[in-house]
Amino acid sequence: MSGAPARGVQVIGPGGSFATPRDEHGFLRPRRKAREVRVGNLVLGGAHPVRVQTMTKGDTGDVETTFDEVVGLEAAGCELVRASVPTMREAKALGELKRRIKIPLVADIHFSAPLALEAIAQGVDKVRINPGNIGTREEVERVVRAARDRGVAMRIGVNSGSIRERKALEVKAQDEDMVELCVREALRHVEIFESLKFHDFLISIKAHTVPLTVAANRRLAAACDYPLHLGVTHAGSAEPSLIKSSAAFGILLAEGIGDTIRVSITGDNRQEVRVGHVLLQALGLRAPTFDVYACPSCGRAEIDLIGLTKKVEEATKGLTYPCRVAVMGCIVNGPGEAAEADVSVSAGKGAGFIYRGVKMIKKVREEDIVRELRAEIDAWIAEKQAAEGAAAQG
């Protein structure tokens, strides 16, 4: 992105702007027309941006520690946060946590309708229930009535790992197709909600495999018009999670399916948020912010490209203005490969050639590449900001 976001567009730090990037190649299908659902200060579905959420990983009952965790998530770009509520202790802590944080708070409920009722009484913005274990229809109806009366949104959160019938700690074997089973269970709860004239809810079907996640959400999207939350559950540590989430989200979001996402990583939930935003930017669903990219290096490189790239990333950490910076490892193909960047360097033996777009600006010594590249980036950003200011005044 060579310029700034359109005037008046809100920029939210790591998440980028809500400007709609141009789909110049017809890659994205038209967005699925989901009904709008308000969750706290956000509206989900419709033509509203796909939002990035995550889940806290500490003790919800420890409000101070959880608050600090949420502040860190907000700084990373988190737009909704979900907290686990395993006992009444955690449920009763939700009100204070809600009063202290800025983003919508979602209570994650399993097994216990009374916990959901307490979460609603505490003033959370949304309650997620799991159809696989929440209880009887009567218990679900009690929760739905309470949410309806208090103006609290809900999510029907189907999980393939808990949808099969259980006896104590044993899971009963079933031959039924899991896509059919998950979708039917989600729609069964939709019927319960609708029978009580309650429509302020989202739905999710999560699985640990990409094919099941994609197939179930495609079928669900065709069967109703409620907003859908996307996720690949039990995805593992960073590397397998990024692969699975990218594959599933890439397919579904490109087809116009999905209104919120969570990248599930066994690890740092701030990374979940950052990756979520990068995925949306890569798909053209969020305008990018500052971005450094580099070639993978090869035998033609006459410089430590990996080391140089890390130094450039470190030297530009904290920059958020929309600017694409390319770091290329050879002067043969580098300038052409970096032509779409705003500022770039193509490195040769003992030297670097700094470009703006396709125009070479200067040749610098190898030891000066990082400093000179940062100076050129700063100059480019300053010129763009000055032009914006002049346009705004005129």
The whole-angstrom separation of Cα 357 and Cα 324 is 10
Q: Within a 10 A sphere around the Cβ of 332, how many other Cβ atoms? A: 12
The amino acid occupying position 20 is T
Note the pTM of the prediction, 2 decimals: 0.84
Percent of the chain as helix, strand, coil, to the nearest 5: 40, 20, 40
The whole-angstrom separation of Cα 273 and Cα 263 is 7
Q: How far is CA 9 from CA 99, 181, 240, 388, in A?
A: 28, 42, 35, 13
The whole-angstrom separation of Cα 262 and Cα 139 is 28
Q: Which domains does the chain have, with CATH numbers?
A: 13-282 (3.20.20.20), 291-393 (3.30.413.10)
Give which of 209, 164, 207 is closest to 185, Cα–Cα. Answer: 164
The whole-angstrom separation of Cα 318 and Cα 174 is 51
CA atoms within 13 A on the CB side of 345: 29
The whole-angstrom separation of Cα 118 and Cα 224 is 29
- pLDDT 10s digit of each residue in the chain, 394 long? 333 333 232 333 334 444 455 555 678 899 999 999 999 999 999 999 999 999 999 999 999 999 999 999 999 999 999 999 999 999 999 999 999 999 999 999 999 999 999 999 999 999 999 987 888 999 999 999 999 999 999 999 998 877 765 554 454 455 568 899 999 999 999 999 999 999 999 999 999 999 999 999 999 999 999 999 999 988 889 999 999 999 999 999 999 999 999 999 999 999 999 999 999 998 989 887 889 999 998 888 889 999 999 999 999 998 989 999 999 998 777 888 888 899 999 998 899 999 999 999 999 999 999 999 999 999 999 999 999 999 988 7
